[in-house]
Amino acid sequence: MSNGLKRNLASESIWIRLLYMLLFALVYQVVELLVLFSTVALFLFTLFSGRPNTNLREFGSSLSQYTYQIFRFLTFNSERRPYPFSDWPEPEPVEDLMAAPEPEETGAQSQAGAAGTEKNKQGTPQEAAKQDSETSSTDTTKAANQGEQKPAESGKDADVSEQKPAEPKSSKKQ
Q: How confident is the model over 86-136, as pLDDT tens digits?
A: 888 888 877 776 655 555 665 555 555 555 544 444 455 555 555 555 555
Residue 107, domain member (yes or no): no
Q: Which run of H or E residues covers position 136?
A: helix 125-145
pLDDT given at position 95: 75
Q: Which residue has the higher pLDDT, 57 or 158?
A: 57
Residue 114, domain member (yes or no): no
Query: Count of domains in the chain?
Result: 1
Asked whether residue 84 carries a pLDDT value surpassing 50, the answer given is yes
pLDDT given at position 160: 46
Burial of 72 (0-12, 13-18, 19+ CB in 10 A): middle
∠ Cα 99 63 41 (to 5°)? 60
Q: Which residue has the higher pLDDT, 123 or 5?
A: 5
Residue 134, domain member (yes or no): no
pLDDT given at position 57: 92
**Separation CA 151–CA 137 (nearest Å):** 10
**Separation CA 61–CA 93 (nearest Å):** 8
Which domain range does residue 47 map to?
21-94
Residue 42, domain member (yes or no): yes
Q: Which amino acid is at 9?
A: L
> Within its chain, how far is the Cα of 3 from the centroid?
48
Asked whether residue 48 carries a pLDDT value surpassing 90, the answer given is yes
Residue 143, domain member (yes or no): no
pTM for this predicted structure:
0.53
Q: Which run of H or E residues covers position 39?
A: helix 12-49
pLDDT given at position 157: 47
Confidence band (pLDDT; 50, 70, 90) for 5? Answer: confident
Residue 25, domain member (yes or no): yes
**Separation CA 5–CA 11 (nearest Å):** 10
Residue 125, domain member (yes or no): no
pLDDT given at position 126: 55
pLDDT given at position 127: 56
**Separation CA 133–CA 162 (nearest Å):** 12
pLDDT given at position 2: 82
pLDDT given at position 8: 80
Q: What are phi and psi of 144, to 5 degrees?
A: -65, -40
**Separation CA 118–CA 44 (nearest Å):** 45
Residue 68, domain member (yes or no): yes
